Amino acid sequence: MYRVGYLGPKGTFTEMAVNGLFQDNIQSVSYKTIPACIDAVESGDTDLGVVPIENAIEGSVHLTLDYLIHQVPLPIVAEATVPITQHLLVHPSFRGEMKEIEKIYSHTQAIAQCHQFIHQNIPYADLEYTTSTGEAAQVVHSKGGNLAAIGNERAANEYGLTILNSDIHDYPNNHTRFVVLRKKEDPVPIHELKKQGVKTTIMVTLPRDYAGALHQVLSAFSWRKMNLSKIESRPMKTGLGNYFFIIDVDQEYDDVLFSGAKAELQALGCEVSVLGTYPKYMITTREIKS
């Protein structure tokens, strides 16, 4: 049985990703920070680690990439995309109406994502910030009364809360991407889920910064008709103004096109390193509920 570390506590969106990917086939271990979760994989305390990498609520995207690049270079072996759905959760003994809620607990990002809903429906409620959506549910579970938490369905189940209003987030179609890390680049035992294609994440460092540099880098992919699903420039840790690029390519790394593109980039003086080539999965409400 695999040990899987994740950014906790229970009831967060990261735990939803873990649950959707592995269901009951693993032993999950909650960590308090992204670096602690990555270190645990490196030291062998866990076999796999699951951390957010894009558009996260709990935890920062940049922290995950920076830690993987500068400190502990573990390969990415899978990606899971989870829809962000926020609900208004109350204690099961709550019998009142929504407008009677006096205080709302949640992570600052979750409250911000439901800004319009709160403004229109519960404008007089006090807002109280917690370090995660899971912690918010825990507080409402233990205090009860006219309090509410904002969090996902898993938080509701975990802490026995009632969903008073579902889907209260302001934007539909909002997603968070998580990556699965492992010490060796072996496939991960995902059951039941259908693979949604493959992807390779690379890091490209320019020999120096000049106008048109990124344009040159992208040429190597463009004329080979390789599709890039994400590109982001990130500052180097050596000071402002030095950038490297993180590029997601919709292609396996051992594809023949890739070796050509890599050779072209190296001929320009770029350094190319691979953060992982891995399958993509989509976690829908069906997987999370089961």
Enumerate binding residues for a copy of itself (CB under 8 A): 32-36, 39, 55-56, 58-63, 66-67, 70-71, 81, 108-109, 111-113, 115-116, 127, 129-131, 170-175, 209-212, 214-216, 218-219, 221-223, 225-233, 235, 237-241, 243
Q: From the CB of 95, what's the least distance to a copy of itself, in Å?
A: 29
* C-alpha–C-alpha distance, residues 88 and 148, integer Å: 6
User: 26 vs 118, which CB is nearer to a copy of itself?
Assistant: 118
Asked if omega into 279 is within 30° of 0 (cis), the reply is no
The whole-angstrom separation of Cα 126 and Cα 148 is 10
Query: In the bound complex, what is the minimum distance in angstroms from residue 168's beta carbon to a copy of itself?
Result: 14
Tell me whether residue 229 or residue 259 sits nearer to a copy of itself (CB atom).
229
Looking at residue 74, its amino acid is L
Q: Rounded to the nearest whole angstrom, what is the least distance from the CB of residue 33 to a copy of itself in the complex? A: 4
Q: Which is nearer to a copy of itself, 55 or 162 (CB)?
A: 55
Which two three-digit tokens encode residue 151? 């969090």
- Select 228 or 263, whichever has its Cβ closest to a copy of itself: 228
**Per the structure block, which two tokens stand in for 271?**
């350094």
d(C-alpha 241, C-alpha 148), whole Å: 45
Q: Which residues contact 112 (CB under 8 A, 6 or more apart)?
A: none
Q: How many CA atoms lie within 13 A of 38 on its CB side?
A: 22
Q: At closest approach, how far in Å is the CB of 233 from a copy of itself?
A: 5
Closest CA to 258 of 214, 227, 216, 213: 227
CB nearer to a copy of itself: pick between 214 and 274: 214
